[in-house]
Amino acid sequence: MHVKNLLSLKNKVILITGGAGLYGSSMLEALAEADGKVITASRSLENAKTIVDEMKSRGLDVHAKYVDQADHASIIRLKDEIQAEFGGLDIFINNAVARPMRKYTDPLEAFAESMRVNATGMFDITREMADLIAKRGGGTIINIASMQGMFGADFKLYEGTEMDSPPDYHFHKGGMIALTKYLARKLAPQKIRVNCISPGGLFSNQPEPFLSRYKNKVPLGRMAGTDDIKGLIVFLASDASSYINGENILMDGGLHA
């Protein structure tokens, strides 16, 4: 097959959670630019609608839905809506994240709330969407983890700022990478490939001195930009990666090379 056809997402129905976020909106745009029919679902429906309306005005086939991935009934409602309106699902991008814990010293309740959304809820929505994909005869799931799920934080980067790298985040992102490998084997008989992307930090006007310190550590000399994940997400979603299964791709500009 021609490589342009391998990379095309034409006739594919794609769900991305949290598609109004920073990395999420880049991936939403990329998947639609590759000709996919892309639904974003998140807890902030108004933000999702604003982004979707802007992309629709550029001719992209994008749709906004509500989901709270910590609420099983809400996941089932979304699943039913996708089946009824789009006839099923081919590709699921597990991107939403909640950040109730900000610091190591935050109360345990914040850690538990993080697990409710980012561990239990994340597994719940993945299992339900995998079921939709299986009914359609197969497809692919891509988990968006983080380099923080693979490596410990360099706390010196945050000195003199309000920033920190909270422990719940390392815990559930590490779990997501392990779950990727589990699901790659579990779902392969249903013709579902499962892969993971572990991005590095995305530039979003972080304060100095964090920014200079971080850039100095990265061999490419910069934080990730919004275009950096676009090719990778389309590649993993498409048939161009049809023999890649259970892989975790680190995208950090060489920070951990």
Question: Which residues of the chain form contacts with ligand NAD (CB under 6 A)?
Answer: 17-18, 20-24, 42-44, 67-70, 95-98, 117, 121, 144, 146, 199, 201-202
Considering beta carbons, is residue 17 or 180 the nearer one to ligand NAD?
A: 17
In angstroms, what is the minimal distance from the CB of 163 to ligand NAD? 11
Considering beta carbons, is residue 18 or 166 the nearer one to ligand NAD?
A: 18
Considering beta carbons, is residue 37 or 43 the nearer one to ligand NAD?
A: 43
In angstroms, what is the minimal distance from the CB of 176 to ligand NAD? 8
Considering beta carbons, is residue 60 or 122 the nearer one to ligand NAD?
A: 122
In angstroms, what is the minimal distance from the CB of 240 to ligand NAD? 22
Name the residue number minimizing CB distance to ligand NAD.
21
In angstroms, what is the minimal distance from the CB of 186 to ligand NAD? 21
Considering beta carbons, is residue 99 or 191 the nearer one to ligand NAD?
A: 99
Record the tokens describing residue 55, joined without a space: 């992309």
In angstroms, what is the minimal distance from the CB of 42 to ligand NAD? 4
**Of 124, 105, 11, 108, whose CA–CA distance to 67 is shortest?**
124
